[in-house]
Structures are given as C-alpha cells and as structure tokens.
C-alpha cells in the first residue's frame, strides 16, 4: 500500500519501478560498526586541519573578517548565516565564494570552487561556527528574498530524462520511504540536517564532500543536468535547502553513508 501511495504521489513510473519498500536496510552490521568507529574518529578531521593551515597562511581571520565587513569576534555567527549577501560582492554568495573574494582581495591566485584547497578551507571556516545553529535569514534583504524564491523553483522543477525534481524524492509526503535501499532523507530535519552537516566524510566515496557537490551528485544520479558550482542557480538552491534546516546545529565535518 505504502509503495502504491508513493507512486501515486510521484506520477513517475520510472521512479516507481526503482522504489521497493521491502528491500533491506541500506547499512548492514559491518557498515554500522564502521560508521560507529568513524564517528569517534572522522577521517575528514584531517582535511579540516589542512584547511586550517591553508586558511591561516593564505587569508587569516582578520583579513577575512574585513572582506565580510564584520569583526573577528563576530565571524562564527556570520559564518553560520551563509549563503548571505556580502556587500563587497554586491550579491548573495556561498562561504566558498566569500573565501575566493578574500583571496582575490589579497592579490592571490584564486583556486576553483571544486579544488581540494577550496573544499578543505571552506570546511575549516564553516567549522568555526560548530555548535552554533544555522541562522540564514532569507528575509534579510531583497537579494536573499529573490534567491530563496529561485531556489524553491529549482527544487521543485521537473527536469532531465526522468522528469524528476529534487522534490520528487525529498518532499514531505515521500521522505522516509526507500529508493534502491536508501532511505529518502528529509533534508531539513534535525536528524539529516543537511546544510549544517556538510562538509561531510562520505563513506561510499572515502572522501570529504562539500554540500553543493553533494547536491550535484543527486542531480547526476537522478539524470538532472548538473548545475555548475557557484552558478546563481546553485547558490539559490543552497539558500533554499539551507533555509529548510534553519536552526539545526552546525557540526563539521559530518559523517554520511
């Protein structure tokens, strides 16, 4: 019955045939034991430590705070509110983009968003807000208001070969059911807390992955054209999904299947 109602909600035969409510759970006992061990000793902690070294040698807290127009003391709570409007950029930017700005400001070569340095540095800077709650404010200004509307549209827009949207798998009426043995996660719930737990170590990839990259991976899996990192659309999507989980506690690096 459950499967039927999900299919009715989806209107997508392709996705329906992939859903199987009776399949085994995604993690077996050995996986669970490994997960417990990694919780104690997250392999991505090393990446975050490398990110700290990079950040301190290339930018530093004072220079970074200056670019954001805040005091060093206010850095953690400012970081907890990304993506946000940064005056010096004149637009809503992600944390990584704000680090790129700080590097450009210091006359340094600006690494690509997908580069290892950038991913590590951003993870470290986000970890400065650990234990704070995400405080994104989508009503703070006109730019944020526009971005959250755009992000919602992108989240709900059916695209690609299967005509799926993010919402096909992450809407309130389907989360908790399973797709190819994976539980469909409620991105904004305190349990999944997507926006506040990526950068995370992804066990299936044996690597630390950023939040925007994780969203791109879902696009790839669901045959939606991948939005480029740093594009206005991708930033808008990050605004929307972050706002779903507003108030969740930031814990970087996270640990994910």
84 forms beta bridges with 93
| Helix, strand or coil, per DSSP, at residue 78 | helix
Which of 8, 167, 140, 155 lies closest to 85, judged by CA?
Answer: 140
Residues 172 to 201 in contact with ligand HEC, rule: CB under 6 A:
179, 182, 184-185, 187, 192, 194, 197
Confirm or reject binding of residue 169 to ligand HEC (CB under 6 A): yes
Q: With contacts defined by CB under 6 A, how many residues of the chain interact with ligand HEC?
A: 24
20 vs 61, which CB is nearer to ligand HEC? 20
Strand order in the sheet with 200-202: 207-209, 200-202, 254-256
Q: What is the largest CA-CA distance in the chain?
A: 61
Tell me if 3 contacts ligand HEC by CB under 6 A.
Answer: no
Please state the length of the chain. 257
Taking CB under 6 A as the binding criterion, the range among 37-45, 67-75, 108-116, 216-224 that sits at the site for ligand HEC is 216-224
Smallest separation (angstroms) from ligand HEC to the CB of 122: 16
Q: Which is nearer to ligand HEC, 70 or 218 (by Cβ)?
A: 218
Partner residues linked to 86 by β-bridges:
91
Among 224, 250, 252, 255, binds ligand HEC (CB under 6 A): 224
* The one among 86, 101, 219, 235 contacting ligand HEC by CB under 6 A: 219
Q: Is the peptide bond before 253 cis (omega within 30 degrees of 0)?
A: yes
Distance between CA atoms of residues 26 and 24, nearest Å: 6
Question: Cβ of residue 138: shortest distance to ligand HEC, in angstroms?
Answer: 16
Q: Which is nearer to ligand HEC, 150 or 237 (CB)?
A: 237
Between CA 224 and CA 236, with CA 230 as vertex, the angle to 5 degrees is 70
Q: Tell me the closest approach of the beta carbon of residue 113 to ligand HEC, in angstroms.
A: 17
d(CA 236, CA 238): 5
214 binds ligand HEC (CB under 6 A): yes
Q: Pick the closest to residue 183 from 29, 6, 42, 14 (CA basis).
A: 6
- Interface residues with ligand HEC (CB under 6 A)? 15, 164, 166, 168-170, 179, 182, 184-185, 187, 192, 194, 197, 214-215, 218-219, 222, 224, 237, 241, 256-257
């Amino acid at each position: 019955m459950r499967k039927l109602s999900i299919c009715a909600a989806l209107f997508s035969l392709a996705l329906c045939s992939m859903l199987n409510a009776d399949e085994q759970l995604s993690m077996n006992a050995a996986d669970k034991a490994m997960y417990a061990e990694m919780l104690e000793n997250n392999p991505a902690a090393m990446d975050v430590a490398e990110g700290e070294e990079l950040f301190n040698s290339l930018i530093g807290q004072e220079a970074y705070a200056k670019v954001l127009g805040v005091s060093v003391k206010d850095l953690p709570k400012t970081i907890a509110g990304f993506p946000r409007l940064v005056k010096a950029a004149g637009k809503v930017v992600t944390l990584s983009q704000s680090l790129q700005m700080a590097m450009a400001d210091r006359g340094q070569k600006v690494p690509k968003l997908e580069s290892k340095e950038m991913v590590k540095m951003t993870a470290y800077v986000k970890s400065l807000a650990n234990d704070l709650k995400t405080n994104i404010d989508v009503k703070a200004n006109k730019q944020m208001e526009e971005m959250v509307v755009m992000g919602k549209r992108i989240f709900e827009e059916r695209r690609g070969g299967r005509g799926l949207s993010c919402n096909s798998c992450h809407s309130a009426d389907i989360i908790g059911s399973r797709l190819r043995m994976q539980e469909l996660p409620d991105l904004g719930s305190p349990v999944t807390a997507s926006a506040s737990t990526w950068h995370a170590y992804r066990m299936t990839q044996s690597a630390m992955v950023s939040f925007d990259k994780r969203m791109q991976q879902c696009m790839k899996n669901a045959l939606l054209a991948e939005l480029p990192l740093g594009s206005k659309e991708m930033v808008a999507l990050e605004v929307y999904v972050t706002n779903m989980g507003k108030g969740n506690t930031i814990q970087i690096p996270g640990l994910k299947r």
